[in-house]
Structure 1
């Protein structure tokens, strides 16, 4: 492992990775383990968005909120958690889970697996070439013998609204790292970031207003999921407004003044902070794509091995969020394991036949992407939604079950509310989609993922006996409901 200084130098490696988030780290780990010399280029913190501004801090903020919500439904415990959360302690926990934004442990890990690190901004400079500008002003010119992997991820995408560019506002980064709860927090959006941050900051003392363009929350999931989350947010005191858009934004008195949001229904909303949670954009605007004939700022389409399909020569890979296949850290790491194996196999001249390459391609991104929304209640899904299944042209049976009917749900918390949905391919007799919404359902997700990925026939699932009394008993009830 080395850090470049101010002098210009040239180096050659088997593999060059641009981006040291979890995806880049996994690509580098796999290629280095295969005996390929590997260097990672990173302009920010090693560990990336997930470690410092997304997965880790957001879940650290949410865990106390969800634990308290569950505890308030447990006799003998609800009185002990009747008061407000200790905001200072929650934020301190968040800081610890984010390693206080210190990447030294991640840097040490790279060194432990013999992967070099160059800090600086890396840009493609033609096929298999990367030029790095270091923080000290130096230049390092890298040449890859076999592959360059782009693992730069995504950044928050904000709408092109009048006044927004001149108005200080939150994106997901500010929402997960804020050092205090704003008195009034407006959140624009109705997806995962919007609902999770609404859940967190409402519980931490903010008066939250959600402004949602769609007619429901979590529009890419089953409708019942967004309805349950919306109901819970309103019960917690949040104002959830559906079917409304923001047309203009203004902040009075500089960066510390109130922010006014002008709405398409003619109304206005005044808040202390505004979070725009309106999507993600690829971090490819300044990585030299033009030097290889690609457009800066574009998503990078790939095949199942992570190889960029728009670039000849079989040397450029795009792994993780940047390829837009599945914008989740766990899926990006999965892709990284496949891409790392593919890079090593191609470097060794291994024939790309189906028998040998089955372990080198990512297939789950199109059929079995597990996804948890850590709201109250939790939402967990994998595979197809009902709408996606209908659009696929398959013959699908939809099986719903009220989770509140389970003994395990009543043991979990009083007043349990939740729904489970299983989608069955009627011709093949296998599960192709599952969605659970309710407290504690995240732990149901892997069993559903295994059933879908393994294409386990329903006749075999009958013999996977769930323990009593647990929420996992829903599998038995779904099968019974399906069989009638």
Structure 2
């Protein structure tokens, strides 16, 4: 066994949140060691956000051009799939993490390659990839930034063997399949299905629970219309009964009696915090509540950041955006630095995330929906509607939808959801309004400079008589 390493903080995981926490702590003068068994930089850089945006970006640009008179006459109607895949591979650094490791090195953070497990309070035992083992002792804190993992596919889908894909396999595929089956129509699967269809793959989506379950119906309808326009066959209410390998691909037997041939099957499953099997059970910390900084209840040393903080240490979907992970990581680092300076960390409210669906049109939501607000005891009211603008901008014409949920007693915003090219900006603005308790009309001053966004917000305000 290698000599034990004494540091102030040990971070398990070098993904988006782990790297952000480690860098912030190092800037604050705290010694940090990060343990990572895979690529530094995290799933978002290699198998999620970055490759997804690389694959969907050309299609979004082409759609905007084709919907804009003047530009439409100057563009072709097809994308170059090979060039798109090559750009995807370049943006992921060819799945090498030299850029991320350089960031950690320049910050003075020690990177240990291996699998870490909490063996005692403030102690992490590492099985290093070089075969050695080493204990790390943290004077201040251990931060779990271990990300999330997908549930295993059901037995019917698993029968597809190596042709059963998760989003990781789909977004790193060296070539596009001619035919892609998709089981489940959640945010990730829907975005991948649309991107592949625009690149020339024949895509059939089986949506046993419907398209984008849990999202508002009018927003889902806008996405469904564009998916079909992109050539995606969408079978709502239809599931998979069996899958079998056949010459040249797969045969999918559907629960409506039909069958489908494809070359790969993308299965959309829930992602959950990757916090099991790393020592929490032994310490009795599974299910411990987290405060706004990610500190686990009953401890003064264990923090969770990023997806690991989604429904703390419990079995729950982790589905927040990278900005949320970065904000939560900042709060964790601030709390640890405060303790390092001998001060009690100030009480921090929970971070408010913006959930995104990266389809066209994009969807975004923050805060509480109407039903959740009423259940929480608020005198909540909702204004929802669609607006359309022919703005002279790109895209030239766009239908956008939105919903605002307001507390009728105080006039303050409780939640919001949007569909349209500016959905993310509008939801982020709403999140600022919720956290800052800013009157809804005042938020007009910070709207994105897009006629469709301003028109929609004003229309929603009229629903409240404002």
Query: Under a length normalisation based on structure 1, what TM-score does the superposition of the two structures give?
Result: 0.88
Aligned to 1:314: 300
Contact 2:413 2:440 in 1 (8 A): yes
1:403 aligns with 2:387: yes
Match of residue 351, structure 2, among 357, 364, 367: 364
Shift of 1:102: 1.7
> Which is further off, 41-50 or 27-36?
27-36
Structure-2 change in CA distance of 1:289 and 1:249 (3 Å): farther
Q: What RMSD over aligned residues (CA atoms) do the two structures have, in Å? A: 2.3
- In the other structure, the counterpart of 2:178 is 183
* Equivalent residue number for residue 327 of structure 2: 334
Q: How does 1:56-455 map to 2 (within 5 A)?
A: 56-162=50-156, 164=158, 167-168=161-162, 169-214=164-209, 216-252=210-246, 257-294=248-285, 301-309=289-297, 312-325=298-311, 327-328=319-320, 329-352=322-345, 357-358=346-347, 361-365=348-352, 369-404=353-388, 406-408=389-391, 411-455=393-437
* Partner secondary structure for residue 317 of structure 1: strand
Secondary structure of the equivalent of 1:448? helix
Does the 8 Å CA contact 2:54/2:91 hold for their aligned counterparts? Answer: yes
Are the counterparts in 2 of residues 158 and 276 from structure 1 also a CA contact under 8 Å?
Answer: no
Whether the aligned pair in 2 keeps the contact of 1:15 and 1:145 (CA below 8 Å) is: yes
Deviates more, 1:149-158 or 1:43-52: 149-158
Q: C-alpha distance in 2, partners of 1:212/1:25?
A: 36
> Which structure 2 residue ranges, 5 or more long, are not aligned?
312-317
Which of residues 22, 34, 39 is equivalent to 1:40? 34
CA contact (8 A) 1:251 1:258 kept: yes
Give 1:163 shift: 6.3
- 1:467, 1:473 within 8 Å by CA — same for their partners in 2? no
CA deviation profile, 1:82-138 (whole Å, cap 9, x unmatched): 321011111111112212212111111111111111111111212211111222211
1:465/1:443 CA distance change after superposition, 3 Å? closer
Give the number of aligned pairs.
458
Q: Does residue 1:476 correspond to 2:458, yes or no? A: yes
Following the alignment from structure 1 to structure 2, what is the Cα–Cα distance between the partners of residues 462 and 69? Answer: 29
CA offset digits 1:63-99 (Å, max 9, x no partner): 1111111111100111333321011111111112212
Rate the CA distance shift 1:397–1:71 in 2: closer, same or farther, 3 A. same
Q: Which runs of 5+ in 1 are unaligned?
A: 1-6
Check the 8 A contact 2:160/2:243 in 1, yes or no. Answer: no
